[in-house]
């Protein structure tokens, strides 16, 4: 079982990033993960719309001012990690809700999807990511839910907003969105004891054609990954089909990992989204709930981290895009739970 892997794992991790492989949502070392089989060669890259740094329309990201943490009313139930500044470990328990749990899980996921849709309507030039965070926070708590990122390992905001070259965990701040930006908004909510988790990359104004294609192909990768999911399917099929589709366009798939989600925000099984071989946990099980969240980049996979220890950017300044859904495994396929 994957639970035999003996490295400390946390999806929201404040430590300095050293390895080039890490979990979706947070960094971690893959050095001790068991791999088997022969290394596969990559097919030739085709049909990519070329992008160079000369195509960049806006300046590289800089850290803006981060406003104080927003308050959540006392009557709203909060997940256990809120009172701790340390990042929770990934739970070894697979998320397989019972019939009542499925109803609650679907409600949390649908709320997350509605919040994400609303957040997307706010994406336009001159809007700050802090304004998006405030709007998300307000909608979540008015729905009787808790914004899952808030307080997770000390994360200071209610949503992640990752702009342009930011791969993930962008902290909302005073920076205004600019014409030509792309922004991934990652929404997770905790409602009635269950988490729903989803994200999407939005276009802001007039975006470069090559970046539009990156966003489009990333969403297609998510759809293709979901298409191979069903009871009894091998987890390795997910990374295989995602990587194959990305490589047709010359894109790199970051070695992030999806995760089980339900009564806890992050649990096993760990969902490899790049080409991989079967691990000790080989097959999907009917009733499992987990996320798929591929991240593609136009350029290199090297990264840098800001002093806030959260914001992760491509080292070469090239753009990155991400899409995420929470799904439920069925006998015939996968039901996408994070649809509004």
Residue-wise pLDDT tens digits, 121-167: 999 999 999 999 999 999 999 999 999 999 999 999 999 999 999 99
Instruction: Evaluate if residue 52 carries a pLDDT over 90.
Output: no
Lowest average pLDDT, out of 16-25, 179-188, 252-261, 295-304, goes to 16-25
Q: How confident is the model at residue 19 (pLDDT cuts 50, 70, 90)?
A: very low
Lowest average pLDDT, out of 9-18, 272-281, 296-305, goes to 9-18
Residue with the two structure tokens 């895009």: 321
Q: Is 280 annotated as a binding residue?
A: no
The CB density around residue 7, as the number of other CB atoms within 10 Å, is 10
Span 162-187, mean pLDDT?
A: 97
Q: Is 259 annotated as a binding residue?
A: yes
Q: What's the pLDDT at 49?
A: 58
Q: How confident is the model at residue 56 (pLDDT cuts 50, 70, 90)?
A: low
Given a contact cutoff of 8 angstroms between Cβ atoms, the answer to whether 118 and 138 are in contact is: no
| Maximal C-alpha separation, the chain | 56
Instruction: Evaluate if residue 234 carries a pLDDT over 50.
Output: yes
Q: Is 137 annotated as a binding residue?
A: no
Span 192-220, mean pLDDT?
A: 97
Instruction: Evaluate if residue 330 carries a pLDDT over 90.
Output: yes
CATH number at residue 192: 3.90.230.10
Q: Is 324 annotated as a binding residue?
A: yes
Domain assignment present for residue 276? The answer is yes
> How many structural domains is the chain composed of?
1
Given a contact cutoff of 8 angstroms between Cβ atoms, the answer to whether 135 and 119 are in contact is: yes
Domain assignment present for residue 256? The answer is yes
Domain that holds residue 276: 97-336
Domain assignment present for residue 11? The answer is no
Kindly provide the residue ranges of all beta strands, DSSP E only, lying in the chain, ordered along the sequence: 146-147, 160-163, 166-168, 182-191, 194-203, 252-253, 257-260, 267-272, 289-292, 295-297, 303-305, 312-314, 320-322, 325-329, 334-336
Q: How many CA atoms lie within 13 A of 208 on its CB side?
A: 20
Q: Is 169 annotated as a binding residue?
A: yes
Q: Is 244 annotated as a binding residue?
A: no
Q: What's the pLDDT at 273?
A: 83
What CA–CA distance (Å, rounded) separates 88 from 148?
A: 12
Domain assignment present for residue 201? The answer is yes
Report how far apart, in Å, the C-alpha atoms of 152 and of each of 66, 83, 168, 229, 324 are: 17, 9, 15, 29, 19
φ/ψ of residue 181, rounded to 5: -75, 160
Domain assignment present for residue 265? The answer is yes
């Amino acid at each position: 079982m994957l639970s035999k892997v003996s490295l400390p794992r946390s999806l929201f991790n404040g430590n300095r990033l050293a390895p080039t492989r890490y979990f979706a949502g947070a960094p971690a070392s893959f050095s001790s993960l068991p791999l088997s089989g022969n290394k596969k060669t990559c097919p030739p890259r085709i049909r990519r719309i070329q992008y160079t740094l000369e195509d960049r329309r806006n300046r590289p990201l800089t850290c803006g001012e981060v406003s104080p943490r927003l308050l959540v009313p006392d009557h709203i139930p909060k997940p256990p990690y809120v009172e701790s500044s340390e990042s929770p470990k990934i739970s070894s328990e697979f998320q397989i809700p019972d019939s009542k749990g499925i109803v609650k899980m679907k409600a949390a996921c649908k709320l997350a999807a509605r919040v994400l849709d609303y957040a997307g309507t706010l994406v336009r030039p001159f809007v700050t990511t802090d304004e998006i965070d405030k709007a998300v926070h307000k909608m979540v708590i008015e729905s009787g839910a808790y914004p899952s990122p808030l307080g997770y390992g000390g994360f200071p905001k209610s949503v992640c907003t990752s702009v342009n070259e930011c791969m993930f965990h962008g902290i909302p701040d005073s920076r205004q969105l600019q014409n030509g930006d792309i922004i991934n908004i990652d929404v997770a909510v905790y409602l009635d004891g269950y988490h729903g988790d989803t994200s999407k990359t939005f276009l802001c104004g007039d975006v470069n054609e090559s970046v539009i294609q990156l966003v489009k192909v990333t969403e297609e990768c998510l759809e293709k990954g979901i298409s191979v999911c069903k009871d009894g399917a091998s987890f390795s099929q997910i990374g295989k089909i995602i990587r194959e589709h990305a490589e047709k366009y010359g894109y790199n798939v970051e070695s992030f990992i999806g995760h089980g989600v339900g009564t806890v925000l992050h649990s096993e099984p760990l969902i490899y989204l790049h080409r991989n071989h079967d691990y000790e946990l080989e097959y999907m099980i009917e009733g499992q709930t987990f996320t798929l969240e591929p991240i593609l980049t136009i350029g290199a996979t090297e990264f840098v981290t800001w002093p806030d220890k959260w914001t992760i950017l491509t080292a070469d300044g090239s753009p990155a895009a991400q899409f995420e859904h929470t799904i439920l495994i069925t006998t015939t396929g996968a039901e996408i739970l994070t649809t509004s």
